[in-house]
């Protein structure tokens, strides 16, 4: 994997103070004394027994069902969705994964329920707090459907709960009904939890190698050569924001990365966006968005910088037939896709747009683990340089309070 920060236009050698402060934050995050930093050492200190339990529970779920519905929102959903989608969905002979509880649209839930009718089903419900309305309501409706179909006893063997060790309604319910459960570690916040049971259980149910995901993340965490790259990325983002580039556009030429982009949006948006600060994270999927928002990038308000994630080796490729004519015939679709990618970088850089590039050899568990850790760590560092707490989200409470008032008035 190669990350080239030089296209950011920020001369790191002129950002000595910021670099020193970022290095201090890196050490602080690694010291184990900072609140909510359980994710920092997680990949290389993962409890072996717990990992085995996650894998064997995933196999048990896989043996019981053809469809596994995962209920959760925010950090209790996006990480698993990002990794499973990036890996092309479930592996052969493993249950399909459907997500629910990430909104309260009745038609979204109806679609999931209709799908459940034709499949053998298990339910995983994930909520660290155990009190998130979106997740709990979807869970209550889906659980009833399971009770109706399988009866309480059998349904109970198909429900898996991931929540806080002690607090919240879900923990009490899991204990009372003896549902198989996992603990969401108290020192890891939702958006940093994909490498805990929160992400690993659904990813393992889908048949992917969670050990390799952790290995990739551990290599990123421990290999000191990556430390500089991490710091330079964090420093560039902060310097670019200072220089008026208040939007970071994450972009890719691979549809499978759409939800990785959604995960990035949550990670950066919820970690940095507070006290009137932060870089707004946006995601674009090319070529589609080149024919819409691409115009804005090239010639609109220059308030953004770009981070291009490119995948070197695609899983499939097609030779372009003779009748497609010159200059396409005989080349492959991925070769042309690469030209589009390089063309965008050249055209945007000619226009003075800062473009950072991340080259990933292929989309597999190992490199996804590496990317996840790279972004988690650099996000926490850059948030600390802005003077905000990367691990809270006080603003999210505001809509909840207004919503609760309205619900009570119904
Ligand atoms: O990053 C976060 O902490 C949030 O996005 C949470 O993951 C999200 O609000 C869901 O919370 P919970 O897992 O408590 O249901």
- Secondary structure (DSSP) of 55-94: HHHHHHHHHH-SEEEEE--GGGTHHHHHHHHHTTSSPTTS
Q: pLDDT tens, 289-318? A: 999 999 999 999 999 999 999 999 999 999
How would DSSP label each residue in 223-266?
Answer: -HHHHHHHHHHHHHHHHHHHTT--EEEEEES-GGGHHHHHHHHH
Q: pLDDT tens, 314-352? A: 999 999 999 999 999 999 999 999 999 999 999 999 999
Judge if the beta carbon of residue 191 lies within 6 A of ligand 1: yes
Its pTM stands at 0.97
Q: What is the pLDDT of residue 168?
A: 85
Cβ(251)–Cβ(307) under 8 Å? yes
Judge if the beta carbon of residue 127 lies within 6 A of ligand 1: yes
Lowest mean pLDDT among 30-34, 80-84, 385-389: 30-34
Ligand 1 pocket: which of 129, 163, 403 to mutate (most atoms <8 Å of CB)? Answer: 129
Rounded to 5 degrees, φ, ψ at 305 are -130, 165
Judge if the beta carbon of residue 129 lies within 6 A of ligand 1: yes
Ligand 1 pocket: which of 128, 189, 399 to mutate (most atoms <8 Å of CB)? Answer: 128
Which residue has the least CA distance to atom 5 on ligand 1?
74
Q: Round to whole Å and give the CA distance between 16 and 119.
A: 58
Cβ(65)–Cβ(155) under 8 Å? no
* Exposed/middle/buried for residue 299 (C-beta within 10 Å: 0-12, 13-18, 19+): exposed
Mean pLDDT of 39-59: 98
Q: Round to whole Å and give the CA distance between 242 and 387.
A: 13
Mean pLDDT of 40-62: 98
CA distances to 99, 187, 195 from 190, rounded to whole Å, are 16, 10, 11
Three-state SS for 21?
helix
How high does pLDDT run on average in the chain?
Answer: 97
Residue 44: half-sphere exposure toward Cβ, Cα within 13 Å: 13
- pLDDT at 373 exceeding the cut of 90: yes
Three-state SS for 310?
strand
**Cα 143 to ligand 1 centre (Å):** 21
Q: Round to whole Å and give the CA distance between 49 and 229.
A: 33
Which residue has the least CA distance to atom 3 on ligand 1?
190
Mean pLDDT of 226-252: 97
Judge if the beta carbon of residue 270 lies within 6 A of ligand 1: yes
Judge if the beta carbon of residue 43 lies within 6 A of ligand 1: no
Q: Round to whole Å and give the CA distance between 20 and 235.
A: 10
% of the chain residues with pLDDT over 70: 100
Judge if the beta carbon of residue 132 lies within 6 A of ligand 1: yes
Task: Name which of 55, 63, 51 is nearest 94 in CA terms.
Answer: 63
C-alpha angle 36-39-58 in degrees, rounded to nearest 5: 125
Q: What is the pLDDT of residue 134?
A: 97
Q: What is the pLDDT of residue 265?
A: 98
% of the chain residues with pLDDT over 90: 98
**Cα 391 to ligand 1 centre (Å):** 11
Q: What is the pLDDT of residue 237?
A: 98
Mean pLDDT of 196-207: 98
The catalytic residue positions are 270, 291, 400
* Paired residues of 355 in beta bridges: 306
């Amino acid at each position: 994997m190669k990350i080239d920060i030089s296209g950011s236009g920020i001369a790191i050698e002129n950002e000595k103070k910021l670099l020193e402060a970022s290095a201090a934050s890196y050490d602080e995050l690694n010291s184990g004394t900072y609140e909510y930093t359980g994710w920092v050492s997680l990949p290389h200190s993962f409890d072996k027994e717990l990992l085995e339990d996650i894998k064997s529970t995933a196999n048990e779920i896989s043996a019981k069902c053809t469809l596994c519905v995962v209920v959760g929102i925010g950090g209790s959903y996006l990480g698993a969705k990002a990794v499973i989608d990036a890996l092309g969905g479930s592996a052969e002979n493993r249950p399909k994964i459907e997500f629910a509880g990430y909104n309260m649209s009745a038609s979204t839930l109806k679609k999931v329920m209709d799908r459940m009718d034709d499949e053998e089903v298990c339910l995983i419900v994930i909520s660290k707090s155990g009190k998130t309305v979106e997740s709990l309501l979807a869970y209550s409706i889906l659980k009833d459907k399971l009770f109706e179909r399988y009866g309480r006893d059998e349904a109970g063997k198909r429900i898996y709960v991931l929540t806080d060790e002690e607090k919240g309604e879900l923990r009490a319910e899991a204990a009372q009904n003896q549902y198989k459960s996992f603990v969401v570690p108290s020192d890891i916040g939702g958006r940093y939890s994909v490498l805990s049971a929160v992400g690993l259980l659904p990813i393992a149910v889908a048949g992917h190698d969670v050990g390799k995901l952790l290995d990739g993340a551990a290599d990123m965490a421990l290999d000191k050569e990556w430390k500089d790259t991490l710091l330079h990325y964090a420093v560039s983002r902060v310097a670019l924001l200072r220089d008026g580039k208040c939007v970071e556009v994450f972009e890719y030429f691979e549809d499978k990365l759409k939800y990785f982009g959604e995960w990035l949006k949550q990670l950066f948006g919820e970690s940095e966006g507070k006290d009137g600060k932060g870089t707004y994270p946006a995601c674009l999927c090319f070529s589609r968005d080149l024919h819409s928002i691409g115009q804005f990038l090239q010639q609109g308000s220059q308030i953004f910088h770009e981070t291009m994630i490119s995948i070197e080796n695609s899983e499939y490729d097609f030779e372009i037939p003779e009748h497609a004519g010159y200059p396409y015939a005989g080349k492959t679709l991925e070769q042309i896709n690469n030209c589009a990618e390089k063309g965008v970088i050249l055209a945007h850089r000619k226009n003075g747009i800062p473009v950072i590039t991340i080259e990933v050899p292929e989309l597999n568990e190992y490199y996804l683990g590496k990317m996840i850790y790279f972004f988690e760590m650099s996000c926490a560092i850059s948030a600390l340089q802005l003077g905000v707490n990367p691990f809270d989200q006080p603003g999210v409470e505001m809509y909840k309070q207004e919503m609760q008032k309205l619900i009570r008035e119904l």
